[in-house]
Structure 1
Amino acid sequence: MKAIGIDLGTTNSVVTRYNDVRGTASVLANAESETLTPSVVGMRERDGSQKLLVGRNAVNFAARNPTDTVVSVKRLMGRDYAHETVAQARDRLTYEIVPGADDDPRAHVVIAGKHYTPAEVSSIILDKLRRDAARALGEEVTHAVITVPAYFLDAQRAATREAGTQAGLTVKKIIDEPTAAAVAFGLELNDQERRRVLVYDLGGGTFDISILHMAKDKDGRGHFQVLSFTGDSWLGGDDFDHAIVNRIIEWVKADSGVDPTGDKKFLFVARSKAEEAKRQLSQLDDADIVIPAAYRMPEGGGLGDVDMVITRDEYEAMIQPLVERTMRLVQQALADQNLSPEDISDVLLVGGSTLTPKVYETVESYFGAGKVRRDVNPMECVALGAGILAGTMNGVECPSCARANEEDAEVCEGCHQSLTGARTLDAPKIYEVTGMALGIGAVRGAQQDAFVPIIPRGTPYPLPEPMKRSFNTTDGRRIRVPVYEGDSTVASKNTEQGVVEYELPQEIDVNTRVDVSFNYDSDRIVTVRISVPGTHMIKEMTLRTDTPRTLQPAAQEYAEENIEWRQQLTATAAETHRFLETHGEFIDPAQTLTIRRHLEQAERALHFSDDTECQRMANVLRKDLYGSGVASQFLLAERATAGAPPETARQLNNAVADVRRSYQAGNSELVGEQTRLLRTLIAQAFTERDVAEVDDAVDFDGLLRIDE
């Protein structure tokens, strides 16, 4: 078994191997004798045949076929097509990004007419890295430690693990890039020396800040405790390139009046030239950007050339807002731990973008030049840390009896207890924390889209024991527990990890307490357990966030009916917009945000989704209309008044006016009493007209309720 470390980068990837004799890792050259492999996949078509190109070969051919050349695919890993990051990518990148087929919500990319998931594209890159490493080492490579940005969500980590598996690798560990860099730096520590380190990791596509305690014990083993991390998944060297591309576009418009933004080939070449200029401006005071025959002149004027100069001062002014964004995140990370710059002993600059003078000068100005370690290679240190881990992870220790077991063992050979969460032997000890909260979507008061954390942000993992919260059922025997990762109090604004469903057995009362517990292992895999205290009812499920999510069975049943759900959704969305305009002041602000989010999702469903998704969103909006507290009662009163006898209509109008006045006066107790009277009048009005009250048809779709 040969294991390697892989820094799977947005722009370039690096492979390392561990040397047992020296106790260090070294970088392996690829088949092109380069240490950096471009994270690029393209297609070459010649004489009717097609061939996938990877790395430098893909880059060299890209200008001739930019629409079939995939770059920066890391930014799409684990993302649904509807995610805002994917929308940004569609605006910037030259290749096509499309939704998955049928019920697969993930983003896909198109290469020569064939659809690939971002994980599949990454697996093509990883396969080349594996084969090149085997060639350099003269033996088969079977295992790897792969790095990811610290701020990658669980779905993105799972997609990275899946890419490794598809490339024929056993993924020993997915490790955060800043932590891997700290492991490489930790080789310099003296025994029993302690440091508090901040890792400033600005790569091609993502920015991470991690704060760690580092130490070596008396046996020389490194200990790395992650205190906190934060970051931005859309902030990196690509954005520096994009700023230069925008300047090139401005130059073309001013010089010729031509807008080249619709020309995919121009954009691809401009991006390549922008990247070259960025590197030059790290060394020189100006950079020439020359692109012969770059764009087509108007009215048959032939092809126009780009011939312009960007000075370092201009470039630094362009990227100043981006650098300031990184420093705001640095300040946030320090504040989260109640630390000041003086409390940091070392600052590690990681990622190729930290070679930009404006970047490292800004960091040095904030922390002091003496603390900023520029002697660590920013392009290689992440991969070196991964290589050290890959070579030193030699089995796992049973948490129950301390017996050593093989790395892929699921239960201990000695005591037969589960090895979930077991720590590795010999390797540096890494103590990580959750970057975001993990919890479920539930009902809280009048809000049907509340996020209830079960594992708080910043919790060390693997957990010594599951964490639990108690809930109550809301309606029927169906229990539906949607699991989310994020920090918003609104569940749907976070990232869905999966849904666990269960039907209560007949012997258990419908109105009962339900416990939901989460366990979180060292590979950041969450196991959800649903149980009813005092009974044998238990439902346990390990969430695989890298697999396609399907719509709920109830939604699929509706889809089989011949209903024009697009028309239904269009009408319901229009009614919801009117509802917000008319009664918005009486809706809880968090609920208002939820409704607006649902309206955005509804609009995307109308443009990109099938009837099943349109039906689902129509039902979601109906719940918003009739589950928004006082405002929903006003809506029902409007409907009840239409066609009601004059005296009933008068009573309803008076009751609505009373509730409005009390609400605006802030008298919540009186609002409650008057709303109950209003509900009674609404029910009477519907009864008189022999019409079912709309509110009665609205349920919570199996969500649990938390009473706090």
Structure 2
Amino acid sequence: MKAIGIDLGTTNSAVTRYDQSRGAASVLANGEGESLTPSVVAVRQRDGSESLLVGRMAVNFAARRPKDTVLSVKRLMGRDYADSDVAQARGRLNYEIVPGDDDDPRAHVSLAGKTYTPAQISSMILEKLKRDATRSLGEEVTHAVITVPAYFRDAQRAATREAGAQANLVVKKIIDEPTAAAVAFGLEMDQQDRRRVLVYDLGGGTFDISILHAVKDKAGNNHFQVLDYVGDSWLGGDDFDGVIVNKIIEWVQAESKVDPSDDKKFLFLAKSHAEQAKRQLSQLPEADIVIPAAYRQPDGGPLVDVEMTVTREQYDALIDPLVQRTMSLVQDALGRQNLSPDDISDVLLVGGSTLTPKVYESVESFFGKSKVRRNINPMECVALGAGILAGTLNGVECPGCGRSNEEQAAVCEECGHSLAGAAESADAPVIYEVTGMALGIAAVKGSQQDTFVPIIPRGTPYPLPEPMRRSFQTTDGRLIRVPVYEGDSAVASENNEQGVVEYELPQELDVNTRVDVTFNYDSDRIVTVRISVPGTGMVKETTLRTDTHRTPAPEPEAVDDGGIGWREELVYLEAETRRFLQTHQQYIEPAQAMKITRDLDAAQQALSTQDAAECKRMSNVLRSDLFGSGLASQFFLAERAVDGASAPVARSINAAVADVQRSFQQGNRQLVEEQALALRALVAKALEAREVAEVGDAETYEGLLRLLDE
């Protein structure tokens, strides 16, 4: 078995291997003799045939056909087409991002007329890395440890593991990039040394902050305990390039009176030269940007050449807001652990973007220059840590008998002892990881349907020594519906959906019975959900797969089935939702009110971009806000029921609304719930009489569980 470490980066990737005799890892050169392989894939079409280009060859070809060149695909890994980050990527990347089929909600990319998942594109990069490593080592590479950003969601980690499998690699472990960097740093620690380390990881596409305890025991083994991590999945070197690209666009607009901002080829050339200028500005006081024939005017006008200069001072001012965002996240991470800069012993700078003077000077100013470790290559340290783990990770040691078992084993083959929480084998660094976001379900709490109820809190060490449980009660009908989310928002739909578990309550059990929901979380970050009714044999257990069907991707047609233009529909819903928020805000929970405000901003953005798919998605989001906001939604429906109702019916509904509002103002929660039920019945009857079927589903809980007071 030959194992390698892989830093699968947004911009570049690197491969390392561990030398047991030296006790150190080293970077392997690729087929072009370079230590870094560009994470770029292209298809070259010639004489009716196609050839796949990966790495440097793809970069060299890209200027000819930017639409058939995929880069920064890491930002799309494990994301649904409806994801707001994907909508942002569609406006910034040079290739086409498209929805999958009806059974696949994930974002896909279009490459030479064919569609691929981001995991498939990443597998092409991994195949080249594996092939080059096999050539370099002289024997077949079969296993790998692959790094991901600390703030990657479970779906993104699953997509990375899927990419490894498609490249015919056995993925021994998916490890966080900052943790891998700390493993590389651990080689420099003395025996019985104790450090509190902050890893500042600013790569090509993502930014992570991790805080760890690092200890070297008497035997010389390194132990790393992750305390916390935060991150931004859309902050990195690509964004630094972007501010220079904007500067180039402004120069062209000023000099040639044309706007090249919608030309994909121009944008690709501008980004390539912006990246070169960024590197120069890390060493020099200014950089010249010269792009011959950069833009061909659509009206047949003369070609536009770019000849401009960017100074270090200008560049620092452009990227200052981005750097300040990173430092704000640093302060957030410290604050959550009640730490100050003085409590950190070492700061590791990781990622190529930390070579930017403005970046490392800001970090040194905050922590003190003496704490910032710049002796490890920031472009290689993540891969080096992965290589160390790849060469030393040989399984987990049974706490009962000490036997080494396969990493995936649940119990010891020798004695049957549980391996939950067991340490890695003695040769490998021991890593204690924590959940970066809470894991829980959408449930009913009070009158609010869209409540996120955490079952595994944020910052919980895993694998879990035992499953974690919360109790609920069924609401309406025999259907039990458990949507599983990962995130930190109190509003469930604002978090990241991991899947939905559904179960029909057996006929012999009463409706409104107690239901326990139990989560388990293993070392590979796979969630097992168990639904049970205490005192009965009713149990449903399932392992969530993050690549299964969730919410269908929005279809890009311009007009819906009712003949209402998508823009007009969203304009109406935006105005109606804004009025709803202004009228009923006191009855909306603060977290839900904040979500609605953000949704209204997103709706305005969708209208300004004229993106049909995004406008249709936001229409659905605003409908959910209108009909899923607890008491406020009941009052909204009451308004609709009163409009056009007979005088006696209208008086009854208005009186019921007044009763609920009075009890709400008095703080009588139990009476509010009782009166709200009566109001709901009146409204449903009035709407049914008028055959308003469109709101039928909004009147029920659709199988969601209600949280029991514990």
**TM-score normalised by structure 1 residue count:** 0.91
What is the rounded CA distance, in whole Å, between the counterparts of 1:74 and 1:105 in structure 2? Answer: 17
- TM superposition shift of 1:636: 2.2
Tell me the equivalent position of 2:557.
none
Residue 19 of structure 2 aligns with an amino acid whose one-letter code is N
What is the rounded CA distance, in whole Å, between the counterparts of 1:568 and 1:386 in structure 2? Answer: 52
How is 1:344-423 mapped onto 2 (pairs within 5 angstroms)? 344-399=344-399, 401-407=401-407, 409=409, 411-416=411-416, 419=419, 422-423=422-423
2:230 aligned counterpart, secondary structure: strand
What is the rounded CA distance, in whole Å, between the counterparts of 1:300 and 1:380 in structure 2? Answer: 47
What is the rounded CA distance, in whole Å, between the counterparts of 1:321 and 1:286 in structure 2? Answer: 20
Tell me the equivalent position of 1:181.
181
* Greater Cα shift, 563-572 or 471-480: 563-572
- Distance of aligned partners of 1:544 and 1:116 in 2 relative to their CA distance in 1, 3 Å threshold: same
What is the rounded CA distance, in whole Å, between the counterparts of 1:368 and 1:481 in structure 2? Answer: 49
- Distance of aligned partners of 1:595 and 1:346 in 2 relative to their CA distance in 1, 3 Å threshold: closer
* Greater Cα shift, 669-678 or 157-166: 669-678
Tell me the equivalent position of 2:504.
503
The Cα offsets for residues 487-543 of structure 1, whole Å up to 9 and x where unpaired, read as 000000000011111111122222211111111111111111111111111111111
- Distance of aligned partners of 1:393 and 1:673 in 2 relative to their CA distance in 1, 3 Å threshold: closer
- TM superposition shift of 1:581: 1.1
Match for 1:636 among 632, 635, 638?
A: 638
- Distance of aligned partners of 1:596 and 1:196 in 2 relative to their CA distance in 1, 3 Å threshold: closer
Structure 2 unaligned blocks of 5 or more: 554-559
- Distance of aligned partners of 1:601 and 1:391 in 2 relative to their CA distance in 1, 3 Å threshold: farther
Q: Determine if contact 1:498/1:549 at 8 Å carries over to the other structure.
A: yes
What is the rounded CA distance, in whole Å, between the counterparts of 2:56 and 2:702 in structure 1? Answer: 52
- TM superposition shift of 1:418: 6.0
Tell me the equivalent position of 2:469.
468
2:465 aligned counterpart, secondary structure: coil
What is the rounded CA distance, in whole Å, between the counterparts of 1:481 and 1:629 in structure 2? Answer: 22
Q: Determine if contact 2:40/2:58 at 8 Å carries over to the other structure.
A: yes
- Distance of aligned partners of 1:124 and 1:624 in 2 relative to their CA distance in 1, 3 Å threshold: same
The Cα offsets for residues 205-231 of structure 1, whole Å up to 9 and x where unpaired, read as 111111111111111110001111111
- TM superposition shift of 1:671: 11
Residue 296 of structure 1 aligns with an amino acid whose one-letter code is R
Tell me the equivalent position of 2:579.
581
- TM superposition shift of 1:629: 1.4
Tell me the equivalent position of 2:460.
459
How is 1:53-72 mapped onto 2 (pairs within 5 angstroms)? 53-72=53-72
What is the rounded CA distance, in whole Å, between the counterparts of 2:679 and 2:685 in structure 1? Answer: 10
Tell me the equivalent position of 2:278.
278
What is the rounded CA distance, in whole Å, between the counterparts of 1:364 and 1:147 in structure 2? Answer: 26
- Distance of aligned partners of 1:686 and 1:545 in 2 relative to their CA distance in 1, 3 Å threshold: closer
Report the RMSD for the aligned CA atoms in angstroms: 3.3
What is the rounded CA distance, in whole Å, between the counterparts of 1:78 and 1:282 in structure 2? Answer: 33
What is the rounded CA distance, in whole Å, between the counterparts of 1:360 and 1:688 in structure 2? Answer: 63
Q: Does 1:481 align with 2:479?
A: no
1:377 aligned counterpart, secondary structure: coil
What is the rounded CA distance, in whole Å, between the counterparts of 1:8 and 1:435 in structure 2? Answer: 20
Q: Determine if contact 2:570/2:615 at 8 Å carries over to the other structure.
A: no
- TM superposition shift of 1:701: 1.0
Tell me the equivalent position of 2:133.
133
- Distance of aligned partners of 1:471 and 1:572 in 2 relative to their CA distance in 1, 3 Å threshold: farther
Q: Does 1:320 align with 2:329?
A: no
How is 1:550-699 mapped onto 2 (pairs within 5 angstroms)? 564=561, 574=572, 578=576, 581-582=579-580, 583-588=583-588, 589-593=590-594, 607-608=612-613, 617=620, 621=623, 624-625=626-627, 628-629=630-631, 631-633=633-635, 635-636=637-638, 638-640=640-642, 642-645=644-647, 647-650=648-651, 652-653=653-654, 656=657, 666-669=665-668, 672=671, 676=675, 679=678, 683=682, 686=685, 698-699=699-700
Tell me the equivalent position of 2:239.
239
Tell me the equivalent position of 1:95.
95
Q: Does 1:293 align with 2:293?
A: yes
The Cα offsets for residues 288-333 of structure 1, whole Å up to 9 and x where unpaired, read as 0000011125754321110000011001111111111111111111
2:187 aligned counterpart, secondary structure: helix
- TM superposition shift of 1:591: 3.7
Tell me the equivalent position of 1:528.
529
* Greater Cα shift, 416-425 or 182-191: 416-425
Q: Determine if contact 1:492/1:594 at 8 Å carries over to the other structure.
A: no
What is the rounded CA distance, in whole Å, between the counterparts of 1:578 and 1:516 in structure 2? Answer: 37
Q: Determine if contact 1:478/1:504 at 8 Å carries over to the other structure.
A: yes
Q: Determine if contact 1:397/1:403 at 8 Å carries over to the other structure.
A: yes
What is the rounded CA distance, in whole Å, between the counterparts of 2:98 and 2:417 in structure 1? Answer: 45
- TM superposition shift of 1:651: 5.4
What is the rounded CA distance, in whole Å, between the counterparts of 2:655 and 2:406 in structure 1? Answer: 74
- TM superposition shift of 1:696: 7.7
What is the rounded CA distance, in whole Å, between the counterparts of 1:688 and 1:282 in structure 2? Answer: 66
2:131 aligned counterpart, secondary structure: helix
Tell me the equivalent position of 2:556.
none
How is 1:197-236 mapped onto 2 (pairs within 5 angstroms)? 197-236=197-236
- Distance of aligned partners of 1:638 and 1:493 in 2 relative to their CA distance in 1, 3 Å threshold: closer
2:171 aligned counterpart, secondary structure: strand
Q: Determine if contact 1:644/1:689 at 8 Å carries over to the other structure.
A: no
Q: Determine if contact 1:74/1:118 at 8 Å carries over to the other structure.
A: yes
- TM superposition shift of 1:656: 4.6
The Cα offsets for residues 434-483 of structure 1, whole Å up to 9 and x where unpaired, read as 11111001011111110000111111111111111111111111111111
How is 1:111-126 mapped onto 2 (pairs within 5 angstroms)? 111-126=111-126
What is the rounded CA distance, in whole Å, between the counterparts of 1:193 and 1:356 in structure 2? Answer: 31
- TM superposition shift of 1:643: 3.7
Q: Determine if contact 1:211/1:227 at 8 Å carries over to the other structure.
A: yes
2:234 aligned counterpart, secondary structure: coil
What is the rounded CA distance, in whole Å, between the counterparts of 1:681 and 1:282 in structure 2? Answer: 64
Residue 578 of structure 1 aligns with an amino acid whose one-letter code is E
- Distance of aligned partners of 1:418 and 1:441 in 2 relative to their CA distance in 1, 3 Å threshold: same
Structure 1 unaligned blocks of 5 or more: 553-562
- Distance of aligned partners of 1:548 and 1:25 in 2 relative to their CA distance in 1, 3 Å threshold: farther
- Distance of aligned partners of 1:687 and 1:51 in 2 relative to their CA distance in 1, 3 Å threshold: closer
